[in-house]
Amino acid sequence: MRQAIVRKPTPNFGNGLTTSSLGAPNYERALEQHQAYCEALQVCGLALTHLEPDERHPDATFVEDTAVLFKGCAVVTRPGAASRAGEVETVAMALTQFFPEIERIQVPGTIDGGDVCEADNHYFVGISERTNEAGAVQLKNLLASFGYGCNFVDIRGVADILHLKSGLAYLGDNRIAVIESLAAREEFLGYELIRIIPGEEYAANCIRINDSILMAKGSPQFASTLAGLGYKTIQLEMTEFQKMDGGLSCLSLRF
């Protein structure tokens, strides 16, 4: 990976969508955490494109949901929440600088990028409250045209996760970090599963960037497990984004 697209939260960040009961986010603290996140991306070797903050859309800092990126193509999504529809155009414009081909999810399909997990040449797509089957089929067909495989993972009814990547992350090396409620899914047969203990589920939304894994602070057993497997980790405070159903992957588009 060499590039990432990010967008700072706005003062009305707390007006965004959330199912969390952790309370309202502290805006100044969110800015500090976002800055530390951006610095970590740069430490990992990524050049950043900063989009203008967008007060019209308080969830717009979660740029990952607006696109799915793979070699040769960017797919602009249709977020599953109607209030987020206006976020996609500025992201699409930024992507034209880097991708020769831009595709779009069409009505009646919806997809949030947080439901799409890349595992080398294979993709897992979560069917969720935000990503419907029509959108998932469109994405699967686009991926197939570029030679990528795809499986759907229905997470409707799985407690306490909004998106598929709220509950799992591909670590490379044929390994998936996964919460217990997803670990038995047949879609993950053939992978080495790194199970995340109850109480540390938020750590499942981690991201591997080149030789490092970014993870949220506050999950010592998962951090110890990663260290034991030889991974270099960068632990970041994510408390204010957790309050808004967001995680590490949500805050950037990486390619």
- pLDDT per residue over 202-250, tens digit each? 999 999 999 999 999 999 999 999 999 999 999 999 999 999 999 999 9
Residue 177 confidence (pLDDT):
98
| C-alpha dihedral (92, 94, 95, 96), degrees to nearest 10 | 90
DSSP state of 81: S
* Annotation marks residue 250 as catalytic: yes
- C-alpha radius of gyration, the chain, whole number: 17
Q: What is the mean pLDDT of residues 46-60?
A: 98
Calpha distance 15→64 (Å, rounded): 19
* Annotation marks residue 163 as catalytic: yes
Where do we find the tokens 């990028």? 113
Q: Are 125 and 131 in contact (CB under 8 A)?
A: yes
Which of 213, 183, 200, 245 has the alpha carbon at shortest distance from 44? 213
Calpha distance 217→241 (Å, rounded): 12
pLDDT confidence band for 83 (50 / 70 / 90): very high
CA distances from 82 to 62, 88, 217 (A): 15, 12, 32
Calpha distance 195→224 (Å, rounded): 12
Task: Enter the pTM of the model.
Answer: 0.97
Is pLDDT of 72 > 90? no
The CATH homologous superfamily of the domain defined by 3-254: L-arginine/glycine Amidinotransferase; Chain A (3.75.10.10)
Token pair of 64, please?
């990952």
Asked whether the CA dihedral 247, 251, 253, 255 is positive or negative, the reply is: negative
Helices (H), the chain: 27-43, 88-95, 133-145, 220-228, 239-242
Calpha distance 65→93 (Å, rounded): 15
Q: Do strands 67-70 and 73-76 pair parallel, antiparallel, or not at all (unpaired)?
A: antiparallel
Single out the catalytic residue among 34, 73, 163, 206.
163
DSSP string, 118-139: EETTEEEEEE-SSS-HHHHHHH
Q: What is the mean pLDDT of residues 66-91?
A: 97
Which of 59, 49, 11, 6 has the alpha carbon at shortest distance from 214? 6
Which of 1, 22, 147, 128 has the alpha carbon at shortest distance from 65? 128
pLDDT digits (tens, 9 = 90+) for 95-148: 999 999 999 999 999 999 999 999 999 999 999 999 999 999 999 999 999 999
Q: Is 31 exposed, middle or buried (0-12, 13-18, 19+ CB in 10 A)?
A: middle
